[in-house]
Structure 1
Amino acid sequence: MSLQIRDLVAGHGKVPVVRGLDVDVSNGSVLAVLGPNGAGKTTLMMTLAGLLPRLGGEVLVDDKPLPNGNPSRANKSGVVLVPDNRALFSGLTVADNLTIARRKGGMSLDEILDLFPALQARWKVAAGSLSGGEQQMLAVARALVQKPSVLLIDEMSMGLAPVIVESLLPMVRRIADTTGTSVVLVEQHVRLALEVADDAIVLVHGDVTLRGSSAELRRHPDRLEAAYFGGDIAHATA
């Protein structure tokens, strides 16, 4: 397993937001983390990236424990976060954003352009002048150029029109299949997320209320609805 999360407790200060999370994400697979606003999804991603210290439990990458609350060490261990605000250098070009992020042993720029050919035509354009969809593509490309073992993508669809989201999300599946990276995807578009993910969990008020393969959850939309809104999952039928 590339990413292993064991009995994780995450939160802000001493206040737990996510409690007792156990999950494995194998090489080349995609885990969708679903749930309503305020469920703890972004807190989870920030904790996995080391931006927030864990309140309990452990996180392992390739069976090696990550140090607690150390984003630099987490990054060097192969964990790379694409935040929901994208965090691009808006005044720098596409090429500059990628060149700055690339590190020794990372993906070449040619490899990145093979995955994101649309960026070629925007190569010398400032990131701040790109469309929302292009900016999101660049944010993911900038993470990938670091050749992560674990790629964390927080709300890829934030601020984007549904038609743009439909074209971008399949990229996540291609990344996992092509690079063997383990991907954790927080996403509000449930149907689209389940189409590209292998497995999914539903997080509500910091607890996992439902988990399973994406194919299984697509077959039982009523269970998803019950998980989101506190219904009786055990007696829900598709």
Structure 2
Amino acid sequence: MSAALECRGLVAGHGPVPVLRPLDLTVEHGTVLAVLGPNGAGKTTLLNTLAGLLPRLGGEVLVDGKPLPRGRPRAANRAGLILVPDDRALFTTLTVRENLTLARRAGAPTLDEVLDMFPALRERLGVAAGALSGGEQQMLAVARGLVQKPEVLLIDEMSMGLAPVIVEELLPVVRRIVDETGAVVVLVEQHVRLALEVADNAIVLVHGDVTLAGPATGLAADRRRLEAAYLGGVEAGAA
């Protein structure tokens, strides 16, 4: 059985300038991959390249063993690579219900199934997305990703701009998404501890290179090695 997502020698960047150097990555079905690292490490560049918004500079991206064309966001979306961007990209003048129903594809989780994961949205169905709180907007952004029937859900900085108490409530939903829908989640996240709690595996990116990779539980248990990886230290490497 093919991996849900695979990168082979992926090189990514803006224009001709590489930001992410040759990356080999395999994400199996039914798993969460946390992508960690300091600001400017190349995490968002990775997600935007996987989603086809940035044309890759080299290498291959495969979904269920099928290679994706370079820089074709519609093709990536049709293949099931669904991006939840850090700015959420909601239709702010449309209601919660309209944001979800317009995006929903055949065979995707129903509106009720998605609202079971985000019950706070049930009472806000008739409210314009722009009038929601930051936490509610993030719930809606992820919910809208789910109704597009993702094979791979790419979530960029789910916690951006949110209070820690909201983050504590939201991140565990990532685990539920994988367990209940079977979709893979690739999660870029600044809250390292919480990300490792919900992830199966993790990588740390620093200056476009993977400085540490391995099971999330192992990385969480070895804080010294994790800190060294963030700093590009000599103790980093494969876990």
Normalized against structure 1, the TM-score is what? 0.96
For the residues of structure 2 that align with 1:197 and 1:230, how far apart are their CA atoms? 22
Asked if the contact 1:25/1:183 (under 8 Å) is kept, the reply is: no
- Percent same amino acid at aligned positions? 73
For the residues of structure 1 that align with 2:17 and 2:233, how far apart are their CA atoms? 26
Residue of structure 2 equivalent to 1:122: 124
**1:16-55 to 2 correspondence within 5 Å?**
16-55=18-57
1:68 counterpart letter in structure 2: R
Question: Aligned to 1:171, which of 162, 169, 173?
Answer: 173
2:162 counterpart letter in structure 1: L
Asked if the contact 2:19/2:42 (under 8 Å) is kept, the reply is: yes
Asked if the contact 2:229/2:236 (under 8 Å) is kept, the reply is: no
Question: Aligned to 1:91, which of 86, 90, 93?
Answer: 93
For the residues of structure 1 that align with 2:93 and 2:198, how far apart are their CA atoms? 32
For the residues of structure 2 that align with 1:103 and 1:185, how far apart are their CA atoms? 23
Question: Aligned to 1:227, which of 220, 226, 229?
Answer: 229
| SS state at 1:148 partner | coil
Normalized against structure 2, the TM-score is what? 0.96
Q: CA RMSD in A?
A: 1.1
Residue 21 of structure 1: CA displacement?
A: 0.8
Residue 28 of structure 1: CA displacement?
A: 1.3
1:138 counterpart letter in structure 2: L
Asked if the contact 1:10/1:44 (under 8 Å) is kept, the reply is: yes
Residue 50 of structure 1: CA displacement?
A: 0.2
For the residues of structure 2 that align with 1:231 and 1:206, how far apart are their CA atoms? 15
For the residues of structure 2 that align with 1:102 and 1:234, how far apart are their CA atoms? 42
Asked if the contact 2:226/2:236 (under 8 Å) is kept, the reply is: no
Residue of structure 2 equivalent to 1:75: 77
1:209 counterpart letter in structure 2: T
Q: What is the aligned length?
A: 235
- Write out per-residue CA displacement over residues 119-178 of structure 1, whole angstroms, 9 at most, x where no aligned residue: 111111111111111100000000000110000000001100111111100010110111
Residue of structure 2 equivalent to 1:203: 205
Structure 1 moving runs of 4+ over 6 Å: none
Q: Which runs of 5+ in 1 are unaligned?
A: none
Q: Which runs of 5+ in 2 are unaligned?
A: none
Residue 231 of structure 1: CA displacement?
A: 2.2
Residue of structure 2 equivalent to 1:154: 156
Distance 1:147 1:234, change over 3 A: closer
Asked if the contact 2:33/2:186 (under 8 Å) is kept, the reply is: yes
Residue of structure 2 equivalent to 1:212: 214
